[in-house]
Amino acid sequence: QVQLVESGGGLVQAGGSLGLSCAASGRTFNDYLLGWFRQAPGKEREFVAAISGTSGRRDYAGSVKGRFTISRDNAKNTVYLEMNSLKPEDTAVYYCAARAAYSNIYNSGAYRYWGQGTQVTVSS
């Protein structure tokens, strides 16, 4: 069982930066792939980034590659999402998610555990 709690959302101007954190409970944190998804009003939940448990493999959506960075600190059971050069179209509720296997990472339905989400709003 894994419980996830996001923090760090807020309001930022276009071109600015914001960092999100996701604290996880559970003794097998290292075993889990962790991902970030986002959902804007009226749109489907979409993949943002994912990071493996121990290999350091990272994957990004094309829309955020080069601007966002996902990282994790297994000692702190925390995954981070650093967001730079933010655009108004990045406005969404951002969710942290976890699953056991590093496969099917782009599919939100493949993730077993989810946080409650944190709002990110980018003004133009």
What is the pLDDT of the chain when averaged over all its residues?
Answer: 94
Sole residue written with tokens 């601007």: 67
If pLDDT is split at 50, 70 and 90, which confidence band does 11 have? very high
Residue 98 has what pLDDT? 95
First CA to last CA across the chain, in angstroms? Answer: 40
Sole residue written with tokens 């946080």: 115
Residue 27 has what pLDDT? 67
Sole residue written with tokens 């990004």: 60
* pLDDT tens readout for residues 49-82: 999 988 789 999 999 999 999 999 999 999 999 9
By CB atoms closer than 10 A (0-12, 13-18, 19+), residue 41 is exposed
Sole residue written with tokens 């101007």: 13
**Of the candidates 122, 118, 69, which has an alpha carbon nearest to the alpha carbon of residue 91?**
122
**Of the candidates 68, 95, 62, which has an alpha carbon nearest to the alpha carbon of residue 83?**
68
Residue 1 has what pLDDT? 82
Is the pLDDT assigned to residue 28 strictly greater than 90?
Answer: no
